[in-house]
Amino acid sequence: MQKVKKAIIPVAGYGTRFLPATKSQPKEMLPIVDKPVIQYIVEAAVAAGITEIIIVTNSNKRAVEDHFDRSPELEKWLAKDNKVSLLKELRRIPRMANFIYIRQKGGYGTAVPVLNAEPLIGDEPFAVFYGDQFFTGKVSWIKQMINVYERYHDPVIALTPVNKKEVGLYGIAAGHKIDNSVIEINSLVEKPKPQEAKSNLASFGGFILTPDIFPIIKKLKSGKGGEYWLSDAVKKIMDKRAVYGCLINGKLYDTGTVSSWLIANIEFALKHPLVKSEINNYLKKLK
- CA–CA gap between residue 73 and residue 3 (Å, rounded): 37
Torsion of CA 5, 13, 234, 138, to 10 degrees: 50
177 occurs within a structural domain: no
145, 212: one domain: yes
Handedness of CA 151, 48, 179, 157 (dihedral sign): negative
82 occurs within a structural domain: yes
180 occurs within a structural domain: no
66, 117: one domain: yes
Does residue 252 have a pLDDT over 80? yes
- Tell me what pLDDT residue 19 has: 87
- Tell me what pLDDT residue 214 has: 94
Does residue 244 have a pLDDT over 90? yes
157 occurs within a structural domain: no
90, 224: one domain: yes
Instruction: Write phi, then psi, for 172 (nearest 5 degrees).
Output: -115, 130
138, 14: one domain: yes
Q: What is the mean pLDDT of the chain?
A: 90
Name the band, by pLDDT with cuts 50, 70 and 90, for residue 92. Answer: very high
The residue ranking higher by pLDDT, 72 or 189, is 72
Cα angle, residue 144 at apex, residues 121 and 199 outer, rounded to 5°: 100
110, 75: one domain: yes
182 occurs within a structural domain: no
How many other C-beta atoms are found inside a 10 Å radius of the C-beta of residue 255?
A: 25
78, 107: one domain: yes
The residue ranking higher by pLDDT, 164 or 118, is 118
- CA–CA gap between residue 98 and residue 144 (Å, rounded): 22
89, 211: one domain: yes
Q: Which domain holds residue 276?
A: 257-287
- 91: closest CA among 71, 121, 118, 108? 71
236, 264: one domain: no
Residue pair 227/191 in contact by the 8 Å Cβ criterion: no
How many residues make up the chain in this entry?
A: 287
pLDDT digits (tens, 9 = 90+) for 167-190: 878 888 889 999 889 999 988 887
165 occurs within a structural domain: no
- Tell me what pLDDT residue 38 has: 94
76, 29: one domain: yes
CA 56 distance to own-chain centroid = 12
SS3 of 110, please?
coil
pTM for the predicted model, two decimal places = 0.91
- Tell me what pLDDT residue 149 has: 95
pLDDT digits (tens, 9 = 90+) for 8-31: 999 888 778 888 988 888 889 999
Task: Give the CATH number of the domain where residue 32 resides.
Answer: 3.90.550.10
78 occurs within a structural domain: yes
Does residue 226 have a pLDDT over 90? no
The residue ranking higher by pLDDT, 43 or 23, is 43
Name the band, by pLDDT with cuts 50, 70 and 90, for residue 207. Answer: very high
- Tell me what pLDDT residue 269 has: 96
- CA–CA gap between residue 52 and residue 129 (Å, rounded): 13
Does residue 143 have a pLDDT over 80? yes
Query: Could you give the count of Cα atoms lying within 13 Å of 145 in the half-sphere of its Cβ?
Result: 36
Name the band, by pLDDT with cuts 50, 70 and 90, for residue 2. Answer: confident
252 occurs within a structural domain: no
Number of folded domains that form the chain: 2
146, 15: one domain: yes
Residue pair 255/37 in contact by the 8 Å Cβ criterion: yes
Q: Identify residue 229 by its one-letter amino acid code.
A: W
Does residue 152 have a pLDDT over 80? yes
